[in-house]
Amino acid sequence: MGRKILIVGGVAGGASAAARLRRLSEDDQIIMFERGPHVSFSNCCLPYHLSGTVAEADELVLMCPEKFLKQYRIEARVNNEVVSINRETKEVLVKNVLTGEEHYEAYDKLILSPGAKAIVPNIPGIEKANIFTVRNVVDIDKLNKYVNNIESKNVSVIGGGFIGVEVAENLKESGYNVTLIEAMPQIMRPFDYDMVQVLHKELYDHGVNLIVGDKVSSFEENTVVLESGKKIEAEAVVMAIGVTPETDLAVNAGLELGKTGAIKVDQNFMTNDKDIYAVGDAIEVYHSLTNSMTKLPLAGPAQKQARGVADHINGKPVLNRGFIGSSVIKVFNYNGASTGLNEGLIKALNMNINYDIVYVIPGDKVGLMPGCEEVHFKLIYEVPTGRILGAQAVGKGNVDKRVDIIATAIKFGATVEDLRDLELCYAPPFGTAKDVVNHAGYVASNLLNGAFKQVRETEVRGLIESGACIIDVREIHEYEQSHIIGAINIPLSEIRDRLDEIPKDKAIYLHCRSGQRSYNATLALQNLGFENVYNVSGGFLGLSFYEYFNDETTDRKRIVTDYNFA
Amino acid sequence: MGRKILIVGGVAGGASAAARLRRLSEDDQIIMFERGPHVSFSNCCLPYHLSGTVAEADELVLMCPEKFLKQYRIEARVNNEVVSINRETKEVLVKNVLTGEEHYEAYDKLILSPGAKAIVPNIPGIEKANIFTVRNVVDIDKLNKYVNNIESKNVSVIGGGFIGVEVAENLKESGYNVTLIEAMPQIMRPFDYDMVQVLHKELYDHGVNLIVGDKVSSFEENTVVLESGKKIEAEAVVMAIGVTPETDLAVNAGLELGKTGAIKVDQNFMTNDKDIYAVGDAIEVYHSLTNSMTKLPLAGPAQKQARGVADHINGKPVLNRGFIGSSVIKVFNYNGASTGLNEGLIKALNMNINYDIVYVIPGDKVGLMPGCEEVHFKLIYEVPTGRILGAQAVGKGNVDKRVDIIATAIKFGATVEDLRDLELCYAPPFGTAKDVVNHAGYVASNLLNGAFKQVRETEVRGLIESGACIIDVREIHEYEQSHIIGAINIPLSEIRDRLDEIPKDKAIYLHCRSGQRSYNATLALQNLGFENVYNVSGGFLGLSFYEYFNDETTDRKRIVTDYNFA
C-alpha cells in the first residue's frame, strides 16, 4: 500500500529526508543507502576530533542503523553503494562494498543526497605525499591516527576554506607544527580581504604558519614545494582546497546538471525526472541576492531541502525562497560570521549592483563588563535603496548574534533604516543599549543621506603616499603610543579651538581609534564650514588589522598597538 | 544665531539627545541639567558594583561635564535641579542643590528626560528599616558601603523585577544572606510563569532565599514582616518594587499625561507644548503589538527616542514605529531574554487575541561541543495567521541571540513559517544546523496546520489527577531514573510493536525528555490510526522545571532528574 522510497546518502540531507518522510507516513518503505560504514554522523564536527574536543571518533556517529530501524522504521544500509540508476525500470543497482555483491532495488521515489567530495588535483609528485582528505568519520579517524604517530609533528593543510582552517586550528591545538597554504591572497572567502585580516592575524598569533597567495607546485618526500620556491616539511598533507558535487550517478542516469556543474533541481528539489529528487552539496540552489544558481555546501540548507523533498513527496507545498548563505567559524579565540553578499562575491560575479559599506568596531557588551570584546562589523547595502545585501562580523565575542540578526533582516528585504529601529535585548553582560547592529544602521543611513563622507581603511596607504592631510583626533597619549606617520594630532577635545591648523582648501581625513570620535569631529568640522572632510571607517584599529598583514617588511607577530604606519 | 536647547536629566535619554544635537549643529547652545552629581553614568551597570564586577563606583560614570564641554561643547550642569517651567516666557527655574541658589534659564527648545523614581510605599514601621533604592551612582555607592559594614550580612530585596533580581544576584555573589521578596507569584514579568521557573530555581540553587506570592506587611527593627507571618531578618532593605515616571515638573507646567500616568508625547516625542519634548522612562510609548500606550523603562528605546527628538528639532523626519519591548537578564549562570507579548501580558491587558504557544528545549549548539546547553524556548504566535507575537528564552548559553532574531522578525510582521526558512549561521561551536528558532518555527507551523496536537506542561498535573493515559516514550533506563507516577513506559523504539498496549478509545498523552521523540511517536500513532494523541510540549524536562517550584511539600533544592511526580 505504501510507496518504496530510496535515499542515496545517509548523512545530513539523506537522514533528514528519511526522518521527515517517516513522520509524514507510516506506510512508506524507506531505505537509505550509504557507501561508508556510518549514517548520520556529524560532518561539521569532524575537525574537532583532531584536537580531542570530540575525544573518540565513534562519538561523531549520531545514529546507528539499528536505532534508525527501531525508532523510525527506516532501513539504513551502510557499506552499500548505489552504482547506477535505471530510470526506465525505476530501479537502482546496489553494491555491497564489503562483499562486492550487487542487487537491484526498485523505487517509487528516489532521493539523491550523495554530497560532495574533496578535490585532489594531480600535482606532480603527489604519489610521494601522505595525502588525506576529510569527508567522513573514517577519514578523520585515519588522519588522527596517522598524525599521532609521526615524529616531526609537521603537517600541512592545503586550502583555507572552512575545513582547512578548522583542521589547521584543531591540529595546532594538539601541538602539531601546522602550515596552512592558500593559493588566493586570503583564506575564508565568505569574508572580504579587509575583514579576514583579523583571522589571518589570529592564526599567526597562535603559531599556524599561514601562507597565502602561494600555490603548491609539487610534492617531494615529506615536503610540499610551493610556486614561490618555498619548501614546507610535511609528513602529512591534508587536501582541503574545495569540494566538488558527486554527480556521476546523476550524470550516468541522464539527469541534468546546471551551469555550476551541480545537479539541477526545480523549486521542489526535483530533478528532470519527476520521481527523482536531489538535495545537499550535490545540487545547485538559487541565491536570492545574486539571482543566480550557486553551489552552497552548508548543512542548514541541506536540512531544509531534505524537508522540502519529504513534504513534496507527501503532497505538501514547498516554500523555496532561495538561499543567501550564512556561515560562522571559530578560529582559536576569534569568531567570524557572515551572511549574504560580500564585496569579493559581488566582484567575482561581476554583479551590476551599486553598493556601499559600513565598517564599525563597537564593543559587544558594555565596556565595564568583564569579557567585553570589540566586534569588527561590516555591513554591505545597496545604493541608493539602502537594501541590506550582507554582513560580516569578526571578534572574540558574540558575533554570530549580530550576523543572524542581519540574515533575518535580509530575508524580509530590510533596509539600513530598519536596522536603526530594531529593538534588541539589552543588559550590560549581553550588549549595549545601541547594539552593534543599530550602530551600523545609523552610520549607513547617515552615509546614504549624505550626512558625511568616509574613506575606507583600504585607501589610507594611498592617502599617506600622496601626502594627504590626515588628522588623528585621538588624545595625545594615544597618538604618542602609535600613529600613522605624517598624521597631525588634534584631539576631538581640542579641535574646535585649533581650527586654524586645519587647511580649508584641501580634503581632510579624520580618524580616531575605531571611527566614533572622528565621526563627531567630521560632523563638527562640516558644520563649521569645512567642505571636504572624510571619516576613516574602522579608524586606527581597523587600519592596524588591515595593514598588519599587508606590510611584508615587518614582523607580523608584534601587537597591533605598537604599530606605526610608514 | 543658534538656538538655546535645555535638557532636563543627564543620563541615557538626556545625554544621547545632547550628543546628537551637537552632531547636527555647531550653532546651538546645549545645556543639560542634572539634579545629581553625575551625568552619563551607566544606569544598567549599577547593580554590578555590589559584586565588585565594577570595582569602583566612579567607574560607573562614563563622561564628566568637562569632557562633555571639551568634546561636544555641551554644558552639563550637575547638582542643578530644574524645579519649574514657565511655558509662557519659555524659561525654566534652576536650583543649585548644593547652594540653594536659583536662577532662570531661557530656552528655545526644552527636552525632558527626568527618568523614573523607585516606588517606596508607606508600609507600617518603614521608619525603622534601613531602606535603600537604586537609581544612581550615589545610591549604589551608599548601599554598597552600608552593607559592607553590617555584621549579620542579612539583606532583603523587595521586588523581583530587573533591578531587584540583579541587586539580589550581585549581593549574593558578594556573600550576603539575601532574601528576595516578590508579592506576585513570580519574579520578572517579561517571562511567563512557566518559563520563569528556571530562573526561580537558579536563584534557589545559588542560595538566594526567594519568596514569591507574599507581601511585606510591616517593618520591625532589622526585620521584614510578611503578610504570611514570616519574619525575615534584614539589616538593610533594598526597595525595588517598581518605578514611577518623574512627572511633577511636567504636570506643574500643565503638560499632559497619558492614561498610564506617564508624560504624553506625539509621534515625534513632542508634548502638548510644541517647544517641549520628553523621552525615556518618564514618557509612555506606543506598543505596536498591544496597540496601546505603555510605560517601557528601557535604555535602548530611551536612546532611540532621544535621537528622534534631536532629529525633529533639526527638521529631520522621525520614524516612530512604536515599541515591542526586548530585554535580557543574567541570573547567576542562566540568561533569560524576552521580546514582544507574553501570555501574562495578553491576559493582564485582556487582549482580544487568539494565540498558541510552542515550548521546545533544544541544545544551543551541537551536543558534542563543550558547553552545549539547553535553551528553554517559548514562541507565542497568533492563530490563525501565524503572526509572531513574542518569544522567551532561558538557558545557560546564547539565549539573547535567539530572542534578538525573533525581535527582528516581529518588526517585519513575520509568521511562524518565515522562521523555518531563516538561514542562520551554523558551525558546531555556535548552534545546530536546524537552529532553535528554525525548530520552533517548524513545530509552530505543524501545530498551525493541524499536523498534531499538544498539551502544555502546565496541564500535566491535572491529567495525572484525572487518571489520563500518559505514555513516557523515553528509554527504560531514563524512565527508571525518574518518571511521572502513573505514566506507562513504551519507548519510541518499541512503540510500533506494542500498539496493543495503547488504548484506542481514549486520549493519549505522550512525552519524552524534551518533546522531540514524543513528537515522532505522536505522528507515528496518528498515522497508525490513533485519533486522540497529544504531545506534551517541553516534555519531562519542561515539566520538571515547572513542577519543581509548584510542589510546596518537597525540598526544592533537589536536582530535577531525581524528580518523581505524584
What is the arithmetic mean of pLDDT over A109-138?
97
pLDDT for residue B484: 86
Does pLDDT of B561 surpass 80?
A: no
What is the arithmetic mean of pLDDT over B138-164?
97
Residue B404 at interface with chain A, using a CB cutoff of 8 Å: yes
Residues 158-177 of A with CB under 8 A from B: 162
Q: Which candidate, A136, A141, A145, A10, places its Cα nearest to that of A67?
A: A10
Is residue B185 exposed (0-12), middle (13-18) or buried (19+ Cβ within 10 Å)? exposed
Q: Which residue of B has its CA nearest to A163?
A: B427
Task: Compute the distance between CA of residue A312 and CA of residue A291 in angstroms, rounded to an integer.
Answer: 24
| pLDDT tens per residue, range A507-544 | 999 999 999 999 999 999 999 999 999 999 999 888 88
What is the arithmetic mean of pLDDT over B151-163?
96
Q: Give the rounded percent of residues in chain B with a pLDDT score beyond 90.
A: 92
Query: Which residues 6+ apart lie within 8 Å of B298 measured at CB?
Result: A426, B325, B326, B327
Cβ separation of A45 and B325 shorter than 8 Å?
A: no
Residue B464 pLDDT level (bands cut at 50, 70, 90)? confident
Does pLDDT of B389 surpass 50?
A: yes
Residue B58 DSSP symbol: G
Catalytic residues of A: 44
Q: Grid coordinates in use for B70?
A: 571639551
Does pLDDT of B47 surpass 50?
A: yes
Cβ separation of B421 and A321 shorter than 8 Å?
A: yes
Q: Which of B48, B423, B518, B527 to mutate to test the interface with A (most CBs of A within 10 A)?
A: B423
Does pLDDT of B563 surpass 80?
A: no
Cis peptide bond N-terminal to B65, omega within 30: no
Q: Which candidate, A549, A557, A564, places its Cα nearest to that of A482?
A: A564
Query: Which residues 6+ apart lie within 8 Å of A221 measured at CB?
Result: A128
- Name the average pLDDT for chain A: 94
Residue A421 at interface with chain B, using a CB cutoff of 8 Å: yes
Residue B217 at interface with chain A, using a CB cutoff of 8 Å: no
| pLDDT tens per residue, range A392-445 | 999 999 999 999 999 999 999 999 999 999 999 999 999 999 999 999 999 999
Q: Are A549 and A200 in contact (CB under 8 A)?
A: yes
Q: Grid coordinates in use for A398?
A: 558574540
Q: Are B32 and B12 in contact (CB under 8 A)?
A: no
pLDDT for residue A548: 64
Does pLDDT of B554 surpass 50?
A: no
Cβ separation of B427 and A330 shorter than 8 Å?
A: yes
Nearest to B368 among A22, A54, A423 (CB): A54
Residue B497 at interface with chain A, using a CB cutoff of 8 Å: no
Q: Which residues of B touch A438 (CB under 8 A)?
A: 300
Residue with cell 538561499: A323
Q: Which residue of B has its CA nearest to A409?
A: B408
pLDDT for residue A481: 85
Nearest to A422 among B307, B408, B426 (CB): B408
| pLDDT tens per residue, range A433-452 | 999 999 999 999 999 999 99
Residue A557 pLDDT level (bands cut at 50, 70, 90)? very low
Range with the poorest average pLDDT among A111-115, A203-207, A266-270, B268-272: A203-207
Q: Which residue has the higher pLDDT, B1 or A510?
A: A510
Residue A319 pLDDT level (bands cut at 50, 70, 90)? confident
Q: Which residues of A touch B408 (CB under 8 A)?
A: 405, 408-409, 422, 424
pLDDT for residue B129: 96
Residue B521 at interface with chain A, using a CB cutoff of 8 Å: no
Q: Compute the nearest-CA separation of A358 from chain B (Å).
A: 19
pLDDT for residue B566: 35
Nearest to B429 among A330, A420, A421 (CB): A330
For residue A121, the tally of other CB atoms under 10 A from its CB is 10
| pLDDT tens per residue, range B330-365 | 999 999 999 999 999 999 999 999 999 999 999 999
pLDDT for residue B134: 97
Q: Compute the nearest-CA separation of B92 from chain A (Å).
A: 28
Nearest to A71 among B405, B431, B493 (CB): B493
Does pLDDT of B248 surpass 50?
A: yes
Cβ separation of B420 and A339 shorter than 8 Å?
A: no
Cβ separation of B408 and A403 shorter than 8 Å?
A: no
Task: Compute the distance between CA of residue A347 and CA of residue A350 in angstroms, rounded to an integer.
Answer: 5
Task: Compute the distance between CA of residue B312 and CA of residue B304 in angstroms, rounded to an integer.
Answer: 12
How many CA atoms, within 13 angstroms, populate the side-chain half-sphere of residue A264? 12
Q: Grid coordinates in use for B434?
A: 536546524
Letter string b/e over residues A181-205, b meaning 16 or more CB atoms within 10 A of that residue's CB = bbbeebbbbbbbbbbbbbbbbbbbe
Cβ separation of B42 and A321 shorter than 8 Å?
A: no
| pLDDT tens per residue, range A3-41 | 999 999 999 899 999 999 999 999 999 999 999 999 999
Query: Which residues 6+ apart lie within 8 Å of A149 measured at CB?
Result: none
Q: Which residues of B touch A326 (CB under 8 A)?
A: 423-426
Q: Which residues of A touch B67 (CB under 8 A)?
A: 493
- Name the average pLDDT for chain B: 94
| pLDDT tens per residue, range B293-322 | 999 999 999 999 999 999 999 999 998 999
Residue B400 at interface with chain A, using a CB cutoff of 8 Å: yes
Q: Which residues of A touch B525 (CB under 8 A)?
A: none
Residue B523 at interface with chain A, using a CB cutoff of 8 Å: yes
pLDDT for residue B110: 98
| pTM of the model as a whole | 0.96
pLDDT for residue B562: 38
Residue A165 pLDDT level (bands cut at 50, 70, 90)? very high
Does pLDDT of A374 surpass 50?
A: yes
Q: Grid coordinates in use for B186?
A: 513570580
Residue A415 DSSP symbol: B
Cβ separation of A304 and B435 shorter than 8 Å?
A: no
pLDDT for residue B552: 47
Residue A55 at interface with chain B, using a CB cutoff of 8 Å: no
Residue A520 at interface with chain B, using a CB cutoff of 8 Å: yes
Does pLDDT of B542 surpass 70?
A: yes
Does pLDDT of A284 surpass 80?
A: yes
Residue A307 pLDDT level (bands cut at 50, 70, 90)? very high
Residue A214 at interface with chain B, using a CB cutoff of 8 Å: no
Residue B548 pLDDT level (bands cut at 50, 70, 90)? low
Q: Grid coordinates in use for B341?
A: 507579548
Residue with cell 528599616: B129
Catalytic residues of B: 44
Q: Which residue has the higher pLDDT, B481 or A290?
A: A290
pLDDT for residue A550: 54
Q: Which residues of A touch B307 (CB under 8 A)?
A: 442
Does pLDDT of A554 surpass 60?
A: no
Residue A549 pLDDT level (bands cut at 50, 70, 90)? low
Instruction: State yes or no: ipTM above 0.85.
Output: yes
Nearest to A299 among B12, B398, B433 (CB): B433
Does pLDDT of B559 surpass 60?
A: no
pLDDT for residue B225: 98
Residue A370 pLDDT level (bands cut at 50, 70, 90)? very high
Residue A447 at interface with chain B, using a CB cutoff of 8 Å: no
Residue A561 pLDDT level (bands cut at 50, 70, 90)? very low
Q: How many residues are listed for chain B in this entry? A: 566
| pLDDT tens per residue, range B405-451 | 999 999 999 999 999 999 999 999 999 999 999 999 999 999 999 99
